[in-house]
Amino acid sequence: MSSVFQRRRQKLLALKAMHSVSASVHPHSSEVCKNCGGEVPHRDLVAAGYVCPLCGYHHPIGAYYRLSQILDRGSFRELDEELASADPLDFPGYRQKLEKAQAKTGMNEGVVTALGRIGGMKVAVGVLDNRFFMGSMSAALGEKVTRLVEQAAKSRLPLILFSASGGARMQEGILSLMQMAKTSAALERFSRRGGLYISVLTHPTTGGVTASFASLGDIMLAEPGALIGFAGPRVIEQTIGQELPEGFQSAEYLLEHGFLDAVVPRSQMRETLIRLLKLHGKAGANRDG
Amino acid sequence: MAEYTAAERVALARNTARPGVVDYVQGLFTDFFEQKGDRLCGEDPSIFGGIGLFHGRPVTVIGHRKGKDLEERMACRFGMPNPEGYRKAGRLMDQAEKFGRPVITFIDTPGAYPGLEAEARGQGEAIARMLAKMSALTVPTIAIVTGEGGSGGALALGVGNRVLMLENAVYSVLSPEGFAAILWKDASRSDEACEVMKLTAADLLELGVIDRVIPEPVGGAHTDVAAMVRTLDRVLQEELAGLSRMSGHALFTGRYEKFRAMGAKALRKERT
């Protein structure tokens, strides 16, 4: 089964995935958990998929690393990798910042879109990466998501999007805002054609991404403890003039308020997706070779 | 057209004397019946909507309401809707689709309300549903930015076949104050933000985000509301006549293509 090409694709994804997590860390060193402050040997953290073994905190992970955890080996085929922002408003300092982010992450934009297989089932999948401008919505990010949705519609594939975003890309102004309409319109069309869309919210998902494609899934999942909201906590505190309750806007809070189907730990994400794809059978998945 | 700076236009757009959706409904439509409630949990007065006749033809009208006096302003949270407001708007749009009525929206909001209850009841989800719903209507839809077009809370009523803007209205991803605070950690640099954000009607026409700029009376819409209404009446008749010639499929497809192309010039191919 495993062709030369599949092996090569797997190798490429593995390389990118390595770049996609803290690249500078020494393999024998320890890391301090951002959440509980506990010291965790690096290899234990890696073995747990960057979930703290002490407190269960799900550290944000890069898009390629996420894909390497979710997809069948050798099935990753990246789409529109070359798409990048053209600095449409000629915004002071934006170009330099983009170049820096590109150099740091090895990505051209804040989302990776791909075709691949999960449990043998073909899917269209996108993962936002918050190391790139906090996964904020640029026109290029909106375009990549929209193309993925359209590709899923055309090839009759189920669609899975992992969101992680700080909201709008300020440097692209109103064009950033318009991506909310563009992506939502594409998803509505996809939905009316019977397409299955599984939306997975990861830490943090806020602003325009929450108020567009991330909230439109047929199935809504989130990672434990993920911050999910429209307005940011600081803005809300300023508005209401009081501190927010513990756990406000967490994945568990959203589950309780009726906006999620399930909170799924990272270690169970792949098998949960396989189960959901199977449950939708031919309606969602396309099993052809 | 008077020449104002972007910051001056922001001030004009926010002028409390500026006419809003209720004034325009009184001036433009007859036999108006206001509809209330989202049929789920509440009524949000910051979204005003209902059915009226426009030159004898039934239309659905929806807009942000900022309120006239302090009491009403408070009740409307100064034009910042809660999820109930957006869900009411969605309900009215479903009815417009059912009964084949064109939808006309009047946009004037600083943004969706950033409150605790708003989040608990799914502000993000409410806006996302509106975007999806409005994008798929098969009736003519015309959105008019009349004052402040603030962020996703404005766009939720803005997915129109035609998007029009009053000459001194502004439309942006965030308020200039919020923009300056996020980008430069200094909200007092908002005038500077106004200039770089490209938020005036002329800027947005050039960017292809809006289709038409509607001239205002000298000094702004509030200086002569009757004249403003007359201009809007003429413009709406023209726009509605154009859209009424199109089939439901053409209206849906045309709107999809219009928003699909947003930001097409903002892309670049990077060597990999």
Amino acid at A273: L
- Compute CA distances B51 → B87, B222, B246, B250, whole Å: 17, 25, 22, 24
- The mean predicted confidence, pLDDT, of chain B is 96
| C-alpha–C-alpha distance, residues A216 and A205, integer Å | 14
For the stretch B168-220, pLDDT in tens is 999 999 999 989 988 888 888 999 999 999 999 999 999 999 999 999 999 99
Secondary structure element (H or E) that encloses residue B105, with its range:
strand B103-109
Is pLDDT above 70 for A27?
no
- Smallest Cβ–Cβ distance between B263 and the set A139, A187, A230 belongs to A139
Angle, to 10 degrees, between the axis of helix B225-244 and the axis of helix B21-28? 70
Within the 158-187 window of chain A, which residues sit less than 8 Å (CB to CB) from chain B?
168, 170-182, 184-187
Query: Structure tokens of B218?
Result: 């000298």
| C-alpha–C-alpha distance, residues A250 and A215, integer Å | 15
Give the list of residues 6+ apart from residue B233 with CB closer than 8 angstroms, or none. Answer: B27, B28
Residue B133: name the closest of B157, B109, B116, B113 by CA: B157
Within the 64-83 window of chain A, which residues sit less than 8 Å (CB to CB) from chain B?
81-83
Rounded to the nearest 10°, the torsion over CA B71, B76, B77, B79 is -130
Sign for the pseudo-dihedral over CA of B196, B200, B205, B209:
positive
A159-165 and A197-205 strand pairing: parallel
| ipTM here | 0.97
Could you tell me which chain B residue has the CA closest to the CA of A227?
B119
Nearest 5°: the CA angle B6, B12, B15 is 145
Q: What structural domains does chain A harbor?
A: 61-284 (3.90.226.10)
pLDDT of residue A18: 76
| C-alpha–C-alpha distance, residues B252 and B264, integer Å | 20
Secondary structure element (H or E) that encloses residue A222, with its range:
strand A219-222
Q: How far is A115 from chain B (nearest CA, A)?
A: 18
Q: What structural domains does chain B harbor?
A: 6-260 (3.90.226.10)
Confidence of residue B2 (pLDDT cuts 50, 70, 90): low
Confidence of residue B81 (pLDDT cuts 50, 70, 90): very high
- Smallest Cβ–Cβ distance between A211 and the set B124, B133, B262 belongs to B124
Query: Structure tokens of A220?
Result: 């809504």
Mutate one of A81, A87, A174, A206 to test the B interface: name it (highest B CB count within 10 A).
A174
Query: Structure tokens of B125?
Result: 């989800």
- The mean predicted confidence, pLDDT, of chain A is 92
Lowest mean pLDDT among A14-18, A37-41, B14-18, B141-145: A14-18
